[in-house]
Amino acid sequence: MMIKTIIKKNKLSSLPVTLLASVFSCALISACGQADNNASEPAVAVETVESSAKKRLTASDLPHYLTRNIQDEVFYFVMPDRFHNGDVTNDQGSKTEPLSAGGFDPSHKGYYHGGDINGLQQKLPYLKNLGVSAIWMTPIMRNQAVQAGSAGYHGYWILDFNEIDPHLGSNEELKAFIDAAHQENIKVFFDIITNHTADVIKYSECHGEDGLQWLVENDTDCPFKSLAQLKAGDGYQTVIPAGQEQVKSPAWLNDPKYYHNQGDSDWEGESAVYGDFSGLDDVNTNDPFVVAGMTEIFKEVISEFKPDGFRIDTVKHVNIEFWQQFAPALVDHAKTEGIPEFFMFGEVYDPTSAFLSQFTTTGKMQSVLDFGFQSAAYQTLIAQKGTDVLAELFANDKDYLDADSSADQLVTFVGNHDMGRFAHMLQKSEHNYSAEQQAQRTLLAHALMYFSRGIPVIYYGAEQGFIGEGGDQASRQDMMPSKVASYNENTLLATDKTTADDNFDQTHSFYQTFADYADVVHKNHALRYGKTETLYQQSTPGIFAFTRTSEQQKIVVVVNTATTEQTVNLEIKSSQTKSLYSPNSLLNKASTNKGVGDKNNQGTVTAENYAQMSPTPLLRVNENSVTVTVPALSFAVYQID
Ligand SMILES: [Ca+2]
Ligand SMILES: [Ca+2]
Ligand SMILES: [Ca+2]
């Protein structure tokens, strides 16, 4: 239900204080433009949303998962081993495959912690209430449990592409989990790898005749041999340690002839595609037999488990000709299996749209993770660059346009399990942000992600204020009570809990905020399908305003990246505006006055007191423009009619 308030000019005294301030301080702010000329006789239309006891939309309210467009999704990216332990009997892994057994040490950040598929299934209501409609899990296929002094808890060291890792459960449990998620109308995405397998193949020049030594002096890599060196006869002799000749499945993966065998990648030039990723056996994706074999593996995965799509790992380390064949073949196969909206997005670790977009155009992949968006969020909200960085990002969206895809299908995020969490990037910044600013900037970065083009991804734990101490292992904390000392020494944002506690707290203000963001996205067509147009940018921190226009709706999003309140005049033709969301008071509540760990300020935002918070009004000064005042490090979302 809407409460509509028309304030005539003789009722100006009834305007909220912040709005009055924006009218009368306008002349002092350059961004005000012509607003001050009209402020003396405004035809003010202010409309606010009655938010009391409103029901948030969840996945159950969305179109059926099988026919739902990818642009309707809100993703949750989770590492199952670090989430919830639903079955302690599987903690030690395989009882029949020695290479997939053990590696369980919940006190060590590099080993298995016991989380599993059963635990994920138990927490479906937690994800549903967060507004999540799609779950992306780190790889779940059977790994080599231990190699090079740590474990395959992350899932990226695959031995067997046909069965789930026994630490995570059984194939039957995986199917039961997918069924349960689908019952809630939530999609399930697998994380897949075609670039490499576990590290089983060794080189006698580096690892000795038995493959168990380390002969390279003063180096951690087995030096890369170029194609030219190979042609001149300067290559490696492969060796598989005794007893490991048949450990991979399907069987063809055990033959070294289907691998590049050129030594470790130094991440430059030719080695980026042909080199081993820190010893992981680099599959010869240039070989037609391998293209067919990998395609067959993942067709079978689709047929067996009926996932809703794939996130694909290490895409830029595979020749683009591979993707041209692999990607369309799997989408076609999924259609024959009754999954018409099957969707794949690749991990191409690069922030430039010119490079990223090759994979969705030439490479025929539907989408990629938008490392460009992550970089722009970092530049504007951590490094304090101007908001023109965001304008440039969206201007470059044209690079992605082709017959069947656009930047609107990019998958957006602000931090992940490799680079670390956004909150950590804030914490280690040279700008020495206070805990309050870390909270505000984290929430603002997520708002930018939810409300701009692309499909948003929450990195698990962000909704509980997780920070972490770095990337990789340091960013993979437990949601269940952790036994890792370095995790538990870390403070969290907007709560006095640590990772030693259970952190499935649905009253955490970040959880509540993200649930609200998702609700606004689910309820507003233009936030999912609207074309993006930049309305306002500047070369310093401050206002970034953009419209999202779909056939059903026009929305304007106004973001303030500055640490002071900003007022801006925007050229928008409208008869009236409607506030859809603004977090002003919410941000004040979500952050802490005394810093992290302030019990009196944590978790205070509930549906009840949220209802009492008033959105920032958008003041229409004439038919061609509107003026809005946005508090420091905040934003507002309006519908323009
Ligand atoms: Ca377990
Ligand atoms: Ca290897
Ligand atoms: Ca490769």
Ligand 1 center from residue 117 Cα (angstroms): 8
What is the pairing mode between strands 343-346 and 202-203? unpaired
Rounded Cα–Cα distance for residues 187 and 309 (Å): 8
Bridge partners for 133 per DSSP: none
With a cut of 80, say whether residue 466 has pLDDT above it.
yes
Name the phi and psi angles at 457, rounded to 5.
-125, 125
Among 163-172, 379-388, 391-400, 622-631, the range scoring the smallest mean pLDDT is 622-631
Please report the pLDDT score of residue 625 as a whole number: 86
Q: Decide if pLDDT at 459 tops 70.
A: yes
Q: Where are the alpha helices (DSSP H) in 456-508?
A: 485-488
* Residue 82 Cα to ligand 1 middle (Å): 10
Helix/strand/coil for 4? strand
Residue 479 has pLDDT above 50, yes or no: yes
N- to C-terminal Cα separation, the chain: 17
Ligand in closest contact with the CA of 203: 2
Q: What is the mean pLDDT of residues 453-474?
A: 98
Ligand located closest to 116 CA? 1
pLDDT at 213: 95
Which ligand does the CA of 278 lie closest to?
2
Segment 500-549, tens digit of pLDDT: 999 999 999 999 999 999 999 999 999 999 999 999 999 999 999 999 99
Q: Which residues surround ligand 2, an ion (CB under 5 A)?
A: 199, 201, 279, 281
List beta partners, residue 5: 46
Domains in the chain (CATH in brackets) are 2-56+529-640 (2.60.40.1180), 73-195+284-517 (3.20.20.80), 196-280 (no CATH)
pLDDT of residue 333: 98
Distance 464 CA to ligand 1 centre (A): 22
Output the CA torsion 372→374→378→381 (10° steps): 110
- Cα 282 to ligand 3 centroid, rounded to whole Å: 5
Ligand number with the minimum distance to the CA of 196: 3
The DSSP secondary-structure symbol of 449 reads H
- Average pLDDT for residues 225-230, to the nearest whole number? 97
Measured CA to CA, the distance from residue 608 to residue 143 in angstroms comes to 46
Looking up tokens 């969290």, which residue turns up? 492
For the record, the structure tokens of 561 come out as: 């990246």
Reduced to 3 DSSP states, what percent helix, strand and coil does the chain have, rounded to the nearest 5?
35, 20, 45
Q: How far is the CA of 399 from the centre of ligand 3 (A)?
A: 25
Query: What per-residue confidence (pLDDT) applies to 220?
Result: 87
Rounded CA gap, 515 and 380, in Å? Answer: 24
pLDDT for res 617: 62
Cis omega (within 30 of 0) for bond into 250 = yes
What does the block give as tokens for 569? 């005049």
pLDDT exceeds cutoff 60 at 96: yes
Give the Å distance between the CA of 112 and the centre of ligand 1. Answer: 9
CA distance 531 to 548: 5
Find the 96 Cα to ligand 1 centroid distance in Å.
17
The tokens describing 557, both together, are 């999003």
Side chain identity, residue 218: N
How does DSSP classify residue 282?
A: B
- 81 contacts 168 by C-beta, under 8 angstroms: yes
DSSP 8-state secondary structure symbol assigned to residue 131: T
Count of CB atoms within 10 A of residue 57's CB?
16
**Number of C-alpha atoms within 13 angstroms, CB side, residue 470?**
5
Mean pLDDT confidence for 460-476: 98
Residues with CB under 5 A from ligand 3 (ion): 195, 282, 317
CA distances from 476 to 31, 75, 198, 407, 466 (A): 42, 17, 20, 29, 10
How much distance in Å is there from the Cα of 146 to the middle of ligand 1?
17
Which-ligand-closest: CA of 260? 3
Mean pLDDT on 432-448: 96
Q: How many angstroms separate the alpha carbon of residue 144 from the centre of ligand 1? A: 17
| Nearest Cα residue to 114 out of 102, 106, 122 | 106
Q: 166-194 pLDDT, tens per residue?
A: 999 999 999 999 999 999 999 999 999 99
Catalytic residue ranges: 313, 347
- Tens of pLDDT, residue by residue over 310-367, are 999 999 999 999 999 999 999 999 999 999 999 999 999 999 999 999 999 999 999 9
